């Protein structure tokens, strides 16, 4: 597994941010590097480290949400594996609720270097505009996630309802169960079960989903951390907290 330039940039730029988010991002990068180094000799440890890297990236997101004083951010639980492991599958489903994606608009992430700071960069979103004989024209929203989505009736999109709907369309009976199972994968690498001790035969198959989670979470972090409050972020956070609240109610 070799990281591409974009993935390397995500790790580097996130780790250079200040405060708890930057430390969590740097810790994420360290766990990721160790995971890839150990996957040949200690596959179970490698998988556990990659899961930890994903959770550290989620912690960075939570830190950014608190830093920017989003409503409800204080209820994010950094010590809860269900909260941290639940972020990536939530963002996956959330992406399918964004109107631009529904209508086939291609959204791209790219790094825009800061003026006079070529080694620094800001993660942005762009959407290409199709013009005759031009392929270099884009719309670049600033801030990147300050959009307001409405339904056909003109009401704000209920992202909690939409995420549940998308999950159902993808054959997921319960987003709560999906998150619970995903968060339990780390325990499968640590503890014996009724069927034996942990044994990973295809380490890449186990690592890849969590490696994807690392970069999705880090991208989310870098789209939130440098900016003041953004509408879409607040709406997404409210939906995530509602899902987590119902999941906790099921666990008790």
For the segment 120-131, what is each residue's pLDDT rounded down to a tens digit? 788 998 887 777
User: If you ran DSSP here, which 8-state letter would residue 193 be given?
Assistant: B
- Per-residue pLDDT, 215: 97
| Residues near 199 by beta carbon (within 8 Å), at least 6 away in sequence | 44
The mean pLDDT value for 166-193 works out to 75
The mean pLDDT value for 20-31 works out to 98
Q: What angle do CA 31, 75, 147 make, to 5 degrees?
A: 85
Taking the C-alpha atoms of residue 167 and residue 175, their distance in angstroms, rounded to an integer, is: 6
Taking the C-alpha atoms of residue 48 and residue 221, their distance in angstroms, rounded to an integer, is: 22
The 10s digit of each residue's pLDDT in 200-240 is: 889 999 999 999 999 999 999 999 999 999 988 999 999 99
Taking the C-alpha atoms of residue 178 and residue 228, their distance in angstroms, rounded to an integer, is: 32
pTM attached to this predicted model: 0.87
User: DSSP secondary structure string, 57-78?
Assistant: HHHHHHHHHHHTT-TTGGG--T
The 10s digit of each residue's pLDDT in 101-121 is: 544 567 889 998 876 565 578
For residue 141, the tally of other CB atoms under 10 A from its CB is 15
For the chain, what is the domain count? 1
Which domain covers residue 128, as residue numbers? 5-251
Mean pLDDT of the chain: 85
Pairing of strands 108-114, 117-128: antiparallel
């Amino acid at each position: 597994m070799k990281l591409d330039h974009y993935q390397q940039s995500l790790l580097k730029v996130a780790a250079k941010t200040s405060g708890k988010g930057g430390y969590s991002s740097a810790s994420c990068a360290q766990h990721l590097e160790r995971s890839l180094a150990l996957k040949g000799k200690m596959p179970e440890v490698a998988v556990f480290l990659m899961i930890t890297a994903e959770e550290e990236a989620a912690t960075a997101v939570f830190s950014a949400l608190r830093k920017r004083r989003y409503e409800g951010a204080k209820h994010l639980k950094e010590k809860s594996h269900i909260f941290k492991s639940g972020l990536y599958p939530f963002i996956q489903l959330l992406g399918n609720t964004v109107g631009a994606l529904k209508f086939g608009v291609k959204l791209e992430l790219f790094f825009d270097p800061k003026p006079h700071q070529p080694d620094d960069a800001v993660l942005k979103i762009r959407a290409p505009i199709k013009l005759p004989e031009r392929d270099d024209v884009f719309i670049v929203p600033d801030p990147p996630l300050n959009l307001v989505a409405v339904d056909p009736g003109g009401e704000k999109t209920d992202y909690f309802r939409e995420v549940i709907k998308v999950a159902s369309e993808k054959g997921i009976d319960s987003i709560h169960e999906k998150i619970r199972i995903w968060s339990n994968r780390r325990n499968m690498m640590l503890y014996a079960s009724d069927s034996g001790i942990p044994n990973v035969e295809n380490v890449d198959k186990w690592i890849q989903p969590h490696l994807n989670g690392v970069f999705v979470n880090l991208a989310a972090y870098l789209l939130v951390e440098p900016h003041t409050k953004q509408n879409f972020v607040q709406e997404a956070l409210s939906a995530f907290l509602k899902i987590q609240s119902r999941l906790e109610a099921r666990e008790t």
